[in-house]
Structure 1
């Protein structure tokens, strides 16, 4: 379990299914053409089965205090050799969107990916029109690497994405205290 100031992130489990599916259905307009979130029990079962702890790990985001389900964060397509990397996926639910909960959860999962999993690199694909997701990866320290056209298929259509990257080295450097500077006079 990863505990932040406002959210707790824990591995997704079968017991999350009912609430997850309801919230995903309520969030169809928010997610449309941006991310995939299962909206049936069968889809949730397939979604859950993807997370084997080796090639993929999946998390749910819950609000501290109320325990309300606020979103999801995944690390997919993890490769262990020759480089240790994975692809970050994330999304919020409409009922709690716009409050920065998923952004906080992403930063917790990024730390987990580098410190606990020992990954060297995380990448995130974000559609150029998705300003909220761009803000999440920017605030987490990712930098824009490339913009491959028609990179990911969502809702049966190939869509343009921007590829964002964060290395363990860059993440560690960002966490180090920076020396104080004095203004030039």
Structure 2
């Protein structure tokens, strides 16, 4: 697995990966499905408080998944929210488990964060297992926390601190 920041030239590959993954992503995330959606997403990554990392299969360069760090806070807080998702046909193959430590290292090492929080819907067993396996701990439950696809969804709050991850 390799991991790098989102590039504008990733548009076609990501749109195709997202379109192939609509059934997998339904009710969990709403990724871009067209050029306009990609441009809106890419524009967000140009801000200081948001970044997207693309997980690629090392041999083929195929898009395996995405890690988005949002609401990156500097100063005394040094925190961000982390969202992630795999794409078809790579979901369930352990590749995101291989890529997540790279994303964590980037956020704690390169960006210098102190805390990463992943908010995950309680029914999303795969995402919870991924967070737990990377050392995130459950901190709480937030009812109707985030609106996804027009519906307010409950979320569990999972967090990891830099020193807990060895940074």
Structure 2-normalised TM-score?
0.96
Displacement of 1:163 in angstroms is: 0.5
1:41 to 28, 35, 39: 35
Instruction: Give the unaligned 5+ runs of structure 1.
Output: 1-6, 174-185
Shift of 1:123: 0.1
* Partner residue, 1:167: 161
- Name the counterpart of 2:78: 84
User: What CA distance in whole angstroms lies between the structure 2 residues aligned with 1:44 and 1:95?
Assistant: 20
Q: How many residues end up aligned between the 2 structures?
A: 167
Shift of 1:15: 1.1
Higher strand share: 2
The reply on whether 1:150 has 2:144 as its aligned counterpart is yes
Deviation at 1:101, TM superposition (A): 1.2
Partner in structure 1 of residue 48 of structure 2 = 54
**1: CA distance, partners of 2:47 / 2:111:** 10
**More deviation in 108-117 or 118-127?**
108-117
1:76 & 1:43 partners in 2: Cα distance?
Answer: 17
TM-score by length of 1: 0.87
C-alpha separation in 2, matches of 1:103 and 1:46? 28
Superposed displacement of residue 167, structure 1: 0.4
Find the counterpart in structure 2 of residue 120 from structure 1: 114
TM-align CA RMSD: 1.1
Tell me the distance in 2 between the aligned counterparts of 1:145 and 1:33. 23
Give 1:53 deviation, angstroms.
5.7
Matched, 1:68 2:62: yes
Structure 2: gaps spanning 5 or more residues: none
